[in-house]
Amino acid sequence: MLIQWKFPVARMRAGLQWFLTSTGPAASTHLETGGFVRSRPDVPFPDIQTHFLPTIFVDHGIKMADFHAFMASF
Residues 38 and 58 in one domain: yes
Q: How many C-beta atoms surround the C-beta of residue 45 within 10 A? A: 6
The tens-digit pLDDT sequence of the chain (74 residues) is 455 657 788 888 888 998 899 888 787 766 678 889 999 999 999 999 988 877 666 666 566 667 777 777 77
The pLDDT value given to residue 41: 94
Residues 35 and 8 in one domain: no
Residues 37 and 53 in one domain: yes
Residues 6 and 19 in one domain: yes
Q: Which domain holds residue 59?
A: 31-74
Residues 8 and 22 in one domain: yes
Residues 19 and 35 in one domain: no
> What is the total count of domains within the chain?
2
CA atoms within 13 A on the CB side of 14: 16
Spell out the residues 6+ positions from residue 50 whose beta carbon is closer than 8 angstroms to its own. Answer: 34, 35, 36, 37, 72, 73, 74
The pLDDT value given to residue 2: 54
